[in-house]
Chains A and B, each alone.
Chain A
Amino acid sequence: MRLNDDHRDFTAMVHNLVATEINPYVDQWERDGFFPAHELFPKLAAQGLLGLEYPAEYGGEDAGHIYSMLATEAFGRVHGAGIPMAIGVQTNMATPSLARYGSDDLKRRYLAPAIAGTAVAAIAVTEPDTGSDVSALRTKAVRDGDDLVITGRKMYITNGTQADWLCLLARTSDEGGHRGMSQIIVPTDAPGFSVARKLDKLGNRVSDTAELILDEVRVPATNIIGTPGRGFQQQMQQFIVERMFASYGAVGQCEYALERTREYLLHRHTFGKPLASKQYVAFTLSELTARVELLRSHNLRVVEALDAGEDIIRLATIAKLEAGRLLRDTADACLQFHGGVGYMEETWTARFFRDARLASIGGGADEVMLQVLARQDGYPID
């Protein structure tokens, strides 16, 4: 797929928005450990950025998937990876199932406000004892008349302290394992819902992450997204979208970090020459830049495959694995070549180094990606 003027204009618009509406505030938000999603999201929505691929009847733009890729890549220029992550939760993690499987009524009440930026969404799958093993989750939703009564705990929830609703995965039957789960929309003003604590993280500190408690939270049974009992399968589909998001964002983040590092090294002199003139430095950064370009090419292939209706699990899994590795390698090199100043909190590399580490864990750890790929490759692993 080749990019055209529309694509470039769109990217320029997002870059402009990042430079004027987000980056000037990120340092303060990072110190606060919180960014005001209810203030920022309407600004993004006004540009159509929270509903690019969603139907116009719910306020979306009916755009091709390429625009999601470009927007996510462009958000890589935000000076704190927690912001794009929070945006991604809204657009690519908490809402795809609702848009694809939800009833018209659910979409009008929850998807439309999310696209308009007036409601903040969160995806609530992980629990204190279940991370990558989603089949082990314990939160229960018990039918009581026309309602579901939900009890359980959810962990590491992005946007957790300010979300207006959750796309929650819970057991709606006792079948166990992958069976009997449903995706349920849970408004956070429902009695019995509470935030146990805001979590103190290594990186992405600009974004709020929380542990949530559901103590007999009552919601209408019609809040189930799609088919009751098919929640695990629907969530796995939603996770695929999340993997792609991670890969698109990694390209933007790494490209920007490498640009900034090159700029610094061209002006930083040691032994009478710019540091950028050292072969080891230049070769390392050029190799990373090449890997960024390879990943972007791969991402474009994912976009084409998705548009063609092909199964993209393998492509997206490869992309997610490489995204995590590339971000870690890039963050390490950028900090290393800045030297002492790179280790200082006042230099962007310190935050980037912390933030980048999440990419190999969140949205499916590297090891889960490898498990998927190894099984596809025919290895008889556990």
Chain B
Amino acid sequence: MNIVVCVKHVPDAQSERTFNDSDNTTDREGVDGLLSELDEYAVEEALKLVEASEGEVTVLTVGPAGAADALKKALQMGAHKAVHVTDDAIHGSDAPATSLLLAKAIEKIGTPDVVITGMASTDGTMGVVPAMLAERLNLPMVTYASQLTIDGSAVTARRDGDTASETIEATLPALVSVTDQINEPRYPSFKGIMAAKKKPVETWGLGDLGVDAGQVGLGAAWTKVDSFAKRPPREKGEIVTDEGDGGTKLAEFLASRKFI
């Protein structure tokens, strides 16, 4: 079974994330980046599926030079090879352009049995790329899987909602997005870190994918950030001195905020 896992290099949520002043795109230079945590579940699930049968896991990312770190982490976890789509013209791409690039890259890799993605990225958190990608690849789409089994040419997934769980089935090849409930991603081991250095990483530009620069980037984006403002600093809390009426004041406060 051959699997392609789409991953994203995102600014570390522990850092002070912001946008670029010049064009309102995500600042990827000023903060440390890492493999999106939600994508680690996708990599783990792919590795488990391949380990249970056979085949290869290819990790694929679209992003600037630094995005290679996300691929490296996935290779250290155990993925077999990686493809990095990068080109200056890609800067500022939104979800439709990203899904176009991913789709073209997957077609060039050779359509796999399964494409696995995380449920969303931890920076944009739109969660729409899996659906767009499935549409572009003309694949059945199984999203938000919290449990996944593949038997022959059938893929079965459990989707957990707020009030009920549903089990759905699709035929391979298919695209599956997974939630953070599906597994416990492994850490790269010492062997994994050492082995990753020798694994093949291909770097493709727009020309390699037959994509015109006008189809991607900020100019082609359907959605743009018009403006941004830093979160205002937390206001100082109000200290209420209890002069025998503390309970009343507390109740008034809660009522004013519509808690009671």
CB distance A6 to B197 under 8 Å?
yes
Q: Interface with A: B160-168, B183-191, B204-212, which one?
A: B183-191
In Å, the complex CA distance between A10 and B197 comes to 13
Select A6's contact among B186, B187, B189, B193, beta carbons within 8 Å. Answer: B193
CB distance B187 to A16 under 8 Å?
yes
In Å, the complex CA distance between A177 and B186 comes to 51
In Å, the complex CA distance between A9 and B74 comes to 12
Task: Indicate if A332 sits at the interface (CB-CB under 8 A).
Answer: no
Task: Indicate if B76 sits at the interface (CB-CB under 8 A).
Answer: yes
In Å, the complex CA distance between A67 and B189 comes to 12
Interface residues of A in 1-58 (CB under 8 A from B): 6, 9-10, 13, 16-17, 46-49, 52
CB distance B190 to A52 under 8 Å?
yes
- Given A6-B197, A9-B76, decide whether A61 and B190 contact each other with a Cβ distance below 8 A: yes
A residues in contact with B191, CB < 8 Å: 48, 61
A residues in contact with B189, CB < 8 Å: 13, 46-48
B residues in contact with A10, CB < 8 Å: 190, 193
Task: Indicate if B109 sits at the interface (CB-CB under 8 A).
Answer: no
Residue of A whose beta carbon sits closest to that of B73: A9
In Å, the complex CA distance between A52 and B189 comes to 11
Task: Indicate if B128 sits at the interface (CB-CB under 8 A).
Answer: no
Task: Indicate if A63 sits at the interface (CB-CB under 8 A).
Answer: yes
CB distance B190 to A67 under 8 Å?
yes
B residues in contact with A67, CB < 8 Å: 190
In Å, the complex CA distance between A330 and B209 comes to 57
Residue of B whose beta carbon sits closest to that of A45: B189
Residue of A whose beta carbon sits closest to that of B34: A12
Q: Chain B 61-90 against A: per-residue CB contact (8 Å), 1 yes, 0 no?
A: 000000000001000100000000000000
Residue of B whose beta carbon sits closest to that of A21: B187
B residues in contact with A13, CB < 8 Å: 76, 187-190, 193
A residues in contact with B193, CB < 8 Å: 6, 9-10, 13
- Given A6-B197, A9-B76, decide whether A63 and B190 contact each other with a Cβ distance below 8 A: yes
Task: Indicate if B251 sits at the interface (CB-CB under 8 A).
Answer: no
Q: Chain B 5-34 against A: per-residue CB contact (8 Å), 1 yes, 0 no?
A: 000000000000000000000000000000
Task: Indicate if B154 sits at the interface (CB-CB under 8 A).
Answer: no
Task: Indicate if B194 sits at the interface (CB-CB under 8 A).
Answer: yes
CB distance B188 to A9 under 8 Å?
yes
B residues in contact with A61, CB < 8 Å: 190-191
Interface residues of B in 155-191 (CB under 8 A from A): 186-191
Interface residues of A in 65-107 (CB under 8 A from B): 67
Q: Chain B 210-254 against A: per-residue CB contact (8 Å), 1 yes, 0 no?
A: 000000000000000000000000000000000000000000000
In Å, the complex CA distance between A17 and B184 comes to 13
Residue of A whose beta carbon sits closest to that of B190: A48
Minimum CB–CB distance for A135 against chain B, Å: 38
In Å, the complex CA distance between A9 and B190 comes to 9
A residues in contact with B190, CB < 8 Å: 10, 13, 47-49, 52, 61, 63, 67
Minimum CB–CB distance for A14 against chain B, Å: 9
In Å, the complex CA distance between A52 and B194 comes to 12
In Å, the complex CA distance between A13 and B35 comes to 13
In Å, the complex CA distance between A136 and B180 comes to 58
In Å, the complex CA distance between A47 and B188 comes to 7
Minimum CB–CB distance for B71 against chain A, Å: 13
A residues in contact with B197, CB < 8 Å: 6
Select B194's contact among A6, A46, A47, beta carbons within 8 Å. Answer: A6
In Å, the complex CA distance between A61 and B194 comes to 10
CB distance B76 to A47 under 8 Å?
no
In Å, the complex CA distance between A61 and B187 comes to 16
Interface residues of A in 235-265 (CB under 8 A from B): none
A residues in contact with B188, CB < 8 Å: 9, 13, 47
B residues in contact with A6, CB < 8 Å: 193-194, 197
In Å, the complex CA distance between A215 and B198 comes to 54
- 10 of the cross-chain contacts (CB-CB < 8 Å) are A6-B197, A9-B188, A9-B193, A10-B190, A13-B187, A16-B187, A17-B187, A48-B189, A49-B190, A61-B190
Q: Which 7 A-B pairs have the closest CB atoms?
A: A48-B190, A47-B189, A48-B189, A61-B190, A9-B193, A13-B188, A13-B187
Given contacts A13-B188, A67-B190, 4 further A-B contacts (CB under 8 A): A9-B76, A13-B187, A13-B190, A48-B190
